[in-house]
């Protein structure tokens, strides 16, 4: 029996327009009414999930910033991690020297050196808080807690791929972790930070076993929690790597994939949400009355000899108006 649903937001619970559909909302509410807990797990701040939390009336903790922090209903934050100052200096310098935009996440705040389309997208498109323009990020190192860095190159995934490779050669796995949730963004996290690690800690606190969890996601940052869950589900638009480790693949985020997963694996009466198609009747022997009716009904394709003789052999050309 599933006792907890954990779901990613962008690309999973939310459509391409970054909205939760009515069907998905109703499916999750039905699960909550059955006593199932729903946990949001996203790489973004808690601010980005406020609308979903209110619509579902969630009273459960949430996993944010790729598992770096866990927020509780009383607004307390636990298990928060931060990047080492040496890593911050090295990464910020390396990325900015090569023309990338770098954004720092500090709790529920987003800090940027300057205002530009890349940073504004975080607010307008992804429902993050308005980025605070603070000038050089180097001035914050050592004085401000920075949980993660987000490096952006809008519309140029190849440059992000190249940057990831370059940074992977410079950073030891004990210093930082590199993760991509979107092709044109690269995240620098504290070592061992992941949604899966945060979920593991949360399950211990809630006294829920991993096999009692339904996890749903679409990207690289969802891998650990999908592998940990008793039922790991990838939406149809998920990356191939996630699909390969998931137990099931459902419809895409634009086709109510989360609702499908909840209805199939959690709800006791899923047919109340999606009507079950009426089964086709079994094939039986032909009834006498049906046979008689068939014999009485003339075959339109069979013609008498006289009809066949009267059929004109000269082709008729239809007159078409220009």
pLDDT of residue 80: 86
For residue 154 the two structure tokens come to: 């809008």
pLDDT classification of 295: cutoffs 50, 70, 90: very low
Give the integer Cα–Cα distance in Å for 234 and 218.
6
The reply to whether 176 and 228 lie within a common domain is: no
Nearest to 69 by CA among 207, 195, 229: 195
The reply to whether 215 and 257 lie within a common domain is: yes
Longest dimension (CA), the chain: 103
Total number of domains constituting the chain: 2
pLDDT classification of 271: cutoffs 50, 70, 90: very low
Nearest to 9 by CA among 37, 55, 47, 42: 42
Q: How many helices (H) and strands (E) does the chain have?
A: 11, 14
pLDDT classification of 268: cutoffs 50, 70, 90: low
The last residue of one of the domains, among 160, 189, 218, is 189
Give the integer Cα–Cα distance in Å for 94 and 102.
10
In this predicted model, which residue has the larger pLDDT, 283 or 158?
158
Domain membership of residue 142 (yes or no) is: yes
**Averaged confidence pLDDT in the chain:** 86
In this predicted model, which residue has the larger pLDDT, 311 or 119?
119
- For residue 55, give Cα distances in angstroms to 86, 131, 161: 41, 25, 37
pLDDT of residue 75: 82
Domain membership of residue 291 (yes or no) is: no
Q: What is the CATH number of the domain that holds 172?
A: 3.30.1240.10
pLDDT of residue 312: 41
pLDDT of residue 112: 96
Domain membership of residue 294 (yes or no) is: no
The reply to whether 203 and 244 lie within a common domain is: yes
Neighbours of 71 (CB within 10 A): 23
Give the integer Cα–Cα distance in Å for 281 and 134.
70
The reply to whether 63 and 92 lie within a common domain is: no
For the cut 70, the answer to whether the pLDDT of residue 282 exceeds it is: no
The last residue of one of the domains, among 189, 209, 224, is 189
Domain membership of residue 306 (yes or no) is: no
The reply to whether 108 and 185 lie within a common domain is: yes
Domain membership of residue 71 (yes or no) is: yes
The reply to whether 75 and 200 lie within a common domain is: yes
The reply to whether 66 and 90 lie within a common domain is: no
pLDDT digits (tens, 9 = 90+) for 21-60: 999 999 999 999 999 999 999 999 999 999 999 999 999 9
In this predicted model, which residue has the larger pLDDT, 119 or 38?
38
pLDDT digits (tens, 9 = 90+) for 50-89: 999 999 999 999 999 999 999 998 888 987 899 999 999 9
Return the residue matching tokens 């970054």: 18
The reply to whether 174 and 25 lie within a common domain is: no
Average pLDDT over residues 127-133: 93
The reply to whether 154 and 246 lie within a common domain is: no
pLDDT digits (tens, 9 = 90+) for 205-254: 999 999 999 999 999 999 999 999 999 999 999 999 999 999 999 999 99
- With a CB cutoff of 8 Å and minimum separation 6, the contacts of 258 are 7, 12, 13, 24, 27, 28, 216, 235, 250
pLDDT of residue 50: 93
The reply to whether 99 and 133 lie within a common domain is: yes
Q: What is the CATH number of the domain that holds 52?
A: 3.40.50.1000
Domain membership of residue 12 (yes or no) is: yes
Q: Which domain holds residue 103?
A: 85-189
The reply to whether 97 and 149 lie within a common domain is: yes
The reply to whether 109 and 171 lie within a common domain is: yes
Give the integer Cα–Cα distance in Å for 92 and 166.
13
The last residue of one of the domains, among 189, 211, 235, is 189
Domain membership of residue 290 (yes or no) is: no
Sign, Cα dihedral of 66, 70, 73, 74: negative
């Amino acid at each position: 029996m599933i006792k907890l649903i954990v779901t990613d937001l962008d690309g999973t619970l939310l459509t391409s327009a970054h909205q939760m559909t009515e069907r998905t909302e109703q499916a999750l509410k039905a699960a909550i009414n059955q006593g199932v807990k729903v946990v949001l797990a996203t790489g973004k701040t808690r601010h980005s999930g406020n609308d979903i939390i209110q619509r579902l009336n969630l009273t459960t903790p949430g996993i944010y910033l790729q598992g770096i922090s866990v927020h509780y209903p009383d607004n307390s934050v636990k298990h928060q991690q931060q990047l080492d100052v040496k890593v911050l200096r090295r990464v910020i310098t390396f990325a900015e020297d090569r023309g990338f935009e770098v954004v720092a996440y500090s709790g529920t705040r987003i800090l940027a050196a300057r205002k530009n389309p890349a940073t504004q997208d975080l607010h307008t498109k992804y429902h993050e808080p308005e980025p605070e323009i603070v000038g050089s990020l180097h001035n914050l190192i050592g004085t401000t807690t920075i949980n993660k860095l987000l490096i952006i190159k809008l519309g140029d995934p190849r440059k992000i791929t190249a940057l990831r490779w370059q940074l992977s050669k410079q950073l030891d796995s004990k210093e930082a972790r590199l993760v991509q949730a979107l092709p044109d963004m690269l995240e620098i996290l504290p070592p061992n930070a992941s949604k899966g690690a945060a979920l593991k800690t949360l399950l211990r606190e809630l006294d829920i076993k991993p096999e009692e969890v339904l996890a749903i996601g679409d990207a690289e940052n969802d891998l650990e929690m999908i592998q940990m869950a008793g039922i790991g589900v990838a939406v149809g638009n998920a990356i191939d790597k996630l699909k390969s480790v998931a137990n099931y693949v459902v419809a895409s985020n634009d086709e109510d994939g989360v609702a499908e997963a909840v209805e199939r694996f959690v709800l006791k009466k899923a047919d109340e949400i999606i009507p079950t198609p009426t089964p086709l009747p079994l094939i039986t022997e032909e009834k006498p009355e049906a046979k008689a009716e068939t014999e009485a009904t003339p075959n339109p394709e069979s013609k008498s000899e006289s009809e066949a003789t009267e059929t004109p052999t000269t082709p008729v050309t239809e007159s078409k108006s220009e």
